[in-house]
Structure 1
């Protein structure tokens, strides 16, 4: 395994300064945003796509520092009911897959998106209960008319470019649990997999270790994010887990993001790393820092310090004890 970082947290730094900084911290991989919600501070698709000379210069910056690019990320909503928003997200996804292919980067991370509730909707609709029955009808329509047709086409496109799609399981989007990921993968094929972020499992009441087992049995984990979450039970009792309190109002939220080790113990992170290895994942653990109680640099540094001792770096080879 390699320790990495999603570089959006250092969007204020130039590419060279960012790479020098994270390499000095001891990471071995970087995940780069190409647009959408993460922005494109360190990877401009339009400048790099189909430009061999610029691509060579770009890749040399990483090679010189002993870093790999674990994934390109273009998180957005390609199923948005507003056509302009959806088309922009779709174009970005297509270009990101093409660039990943040209740069030999194996994974493109994004969200599944979330449609509206009918053809003329203006905003996404995320059903979270099967009753009243209208919600179940909306969900059925979304999957049959929007989600499956779109991702079938994109899975084929990714396969043609020898790229895997890492869908981040995230509340507010249609694919947000292991079950919804596997439902889509069953129809669309193995190009679809998870960019599994335990922070989004915890607040949904899902044990990340068990999520790894569910997805790992299907070889459906394409990438892994390292971000923590704390559950404030007194606020859960008041607001529930589907809490609409602003992320900035941390005192009153039912849950909020923390840097690695400040929501759950090192042992729990060691359990996740071990379970990833148990089910065949031997790629990058990419730190995503969104902790509202720590500076960017302090939160990133503490995440590195927590993960380095528990990361499994070497395969056992043969079992010498049996």
Structure 2
């Protein structure tokens, strides 16, 4: 496995400065934002696709520092019921897939999106209860008319370019659990897989080790994020896991994102890494920093130090003791 970072946290630095800093920490990979919610501070797909010279210089800047690009990431909602929003996010996904092909990057990460509850809807509707039956009807309509058709078509576009799509399992979107990811994968094909982030499993009450097992046995993990979550034992009973308070209200929230090792101990992270190796995932572990109690530099540095303790890097050898 290789240790990498989702570089959008260094958006205030230039691309070259970010690469130098990342390389100085001993990392081997970089995940780059290409638009959508993460923005495109370091990588504008349209500009690179339009200029072969810029494309070559971009690739050289990464490779000259001993780094590789693990994924291009453009998290958005291409199923948004407001068509201008959906179209904008869809265009970014398409351009990111085209750029990934040019850069020989194997994965583009994004969200599945979430549609409205009918054709004239204005806002996304995320059903999370089977009763009253209205919610089940909404869910069935969304998957049959929006989720499956969109990702079947977009998946084919990606597959034709030898690029995989890593959907981040995230609350508020149609694909948010291992089961919903596998449901879409069965309908749209193996090009669809997970950009698995343990932090979003923990707050939903899902054990990330088991999520790795479930998805990994199906060959459905395309990319992996390293981010932690802490759950407040009092506030969780007050607000529940679907706490709608702002992430800035950290003292009263039921849960919050933390840097690796500050929500769960390193034994649990070692179990996650071991599970990844067990199911055959030997690609990049990409650090994502969204810890409201730490600066970017401190949170990132601590994540690197903690993951270096548990990451399994060397190729498997023979079991000499068997």
Question: TM-score, with normalisation over the residues of structure 2?
Answer: 0.99
What is the aligned partner in structure 1 of residue 9 from structure 2?
9
Displacement, 1:224? 0.1
Deviations 1:26-55 (A, max 9, x none): 111000000110000111111101532211
| Equivalent residue runs for 1:159-170 within 5 Å | 159-170=159-170
What is the aligned partner in structure 2 of residue 257 from structure 1?
257
Secondary structure, counterpart of 2:290 in structure 1? coil
Q: In 2, distance between residues paired with 1:42 and 1:2?
A: 21
What is the aligned partner in structure 2 of residue 319 from structure 1?
319
Q: In 2, distance between residues paired with 1:108 and 1:293?
A: 29
RMSD over aligned Cα atoms = 0.6
Q: In 2, distance between residues paired with 1:148 and 1:50?
A: 31
Displacement, 1:319? 1.1
Displacement, 1:137? 0.4
Question: TM-score, with normalisation over the residues of structure 1?
Answer: 0.99
Secondary structure, counterpart of 1:309 in structure 2? helix
Displacement, 1:309? 1.5
Count of residues in Structure 1 that have an aligned counterpart in Structure 2:
322
Is 1:97–2:113 an aligned residue pair?
no
Displacement, 1:318? 1.3
Q: In 2, distance between residues paired with 1:150 and 1:46?
A: 22
| Equivalent residue runs for 1:122-161 within 5 Å | 122-161=122-161
Deviations 1:140-162 (A, max 9, x none): 00000000000000111100000
Deviations 1:239-259 (A, max 9, x none): 111000110000110000000
Is 1:196–2:196 an aligned residue pair?
yes
Displacement, 1:316? 2.4
Q: In 1, distance between residues paired with 2:304 and 2:241?
A: 28
Q: In 2, distance between residues paired with 1:316 and 1:191?
A: 26
Secondary structure, counterpart of 2:223 in structure 1? strand
Displacement, 1:90? 0.7
Which runs of 5 or more structure 2 residues have no equivalent in the other structure?
none
What is the aligned partner in structure 2 of residue 240 from structure 1?
240
Q: In 1, distance between residues paired with 2:41 and 2:27?
A: 19
State which drifts further: 46-55 or 220-229: 46-55
What is the aligned partner in structure 1 of residue 59 from structure 2?
59
Which runs of 5 or more structure 1 residues have no equivalent in the other structure?
none
Deviations 1:255-303 (A, max 9, x none): 0000000000011001000100000000000000000000000000000
| Equivalent residue runs for 1:78-93 within 5 Å | 78-93=78-93
Q: In 1, distance between residues paired with 2:256 and 2:150?
A: 32
Q: In 2, distance between residues paired with 1:246 and 1:58?
A: 37
Is 1:24–2:24 an aligned residue pair?
yes
What is the aligned partner in structure 1 of residue 230 from structure 2?
230
What is the aligned partner in structure 2 of residue 282 from structure 1?
282
State which drifts further: 49-58 or 197-206: 49-58
Secondary structure, counterpart of 1:3 in structure 2? strand
Q: In 1, distance between residues paired with 2:70 and 2:49?
A: 18
| Equivalent residue runs for 1:173-184 within 5 Å | 173-184=173-184
Displacement, 1:80? 0.0
Is 1:309–2:298 an aligned residue pair?
no
